[in-house]
Amino acid sequence: MARHGGGRGWYGKLVGAALGVTVLAVGASVWTAQADPVGGPSPKATASAAPVGDSTPVDKSIVHASDAGARGVNITIDDGPDPAWTPQVLDILREHGVKATFCVTGIQAQAHPDLVKEVVAAGHRLCNHTVSHDTTMDKKSEAYQSKEILDAERMIIKASGGVRSMYYRAPGGAFTPYSRELAASRGMRPLGWNVDTKDFEQPGADAIVATVQREISNGPTVLFHDAGGDRAQTVEALRRVLPWLKEQGYTFGFPVR
């Protein structure tokens, strides 16, 4: 799993305008914090309303495998939701009967809760992609990592109407032992990828499709993006990739938890 650069730049501007006070407000409205400090090894919180989903601790190792078995594929969609592109991605997934894992950020979830609810209602799974998509968070303090993950958790739960993220994906693959352990303690399995389509670079739909066709033998988890720029190429590539995968005998599942 190589580090990717999806989402750099555009999040910096968005977070600079919206992050500080808003995150705390969301956290306060959903959770009542216990005595543990934000950067503690086992942060505790009590929900004001019991969220749907299992928060039982899971394995802290980074997962790539599919619950659909040896010919399973996990479609993962990062950085959204986005009002221009997420609905188009959802339409294509619905058309082909495919369920995916959406790695959403706290900022985007807070801005577009209707889309988060739509993702959940369609039977897809949620993944915590931190508040601000800081691809250098592995170089930051444990307190900073904790805040990014836990604030995003609260924001996503609120946006979804009470549904927990089942996975945690570090922005750009910037995992640390601490962030993996923290996420797993909250019931979120750290999630990697095997096929980086590099769609965030907008290489053209043909190139995105060719990457999947060439690299799917590397493993089942495929990385796409539905935010952070013009995703028309991603939409077109998905429209072509999903039936191709079916023709090759692949089925679609979720990452193993």
pLDDT of residue 217: 97
pLDDT of residue 7: 43
Express each pLDDT in 202-244 by its tens digit: 999 999 999 999 999 999 999 999 999 999 999 999 999 999 9
Here the tokens at position 114 are 């209707």
CA distance 108 to 80: 6
Query: What band does 54 get if pLDDT is binned at 50, 70 and 90?
Result: confident
Tell me: pLDDT of 168 over 50: yes
Q: Please, what is the angle between helix 86-95 and helix 113-121, to 10°?
A: 10
Tell me: pLDDT of 196 over 60: yes
Q: 40-49, 83-92, 131-140, 177-186: lowest mean pLDDT where?
A: 40-49
Residue 244: which residues within 8 A CB-CB, separation 6 or more?
A: 209, 212, 213
Domain 10-31+65-249 fold is TIM Barrel (3.20.20)
> Mean pLDDT score of the chain, rounded to an integer?
85
The residue with greater pLDDT, 173 or 31, is 173
pLDDT of residue 55: 86
Residues involved in catalysis: 78, 225
> Is-above-0.95 flag for pTM?
no
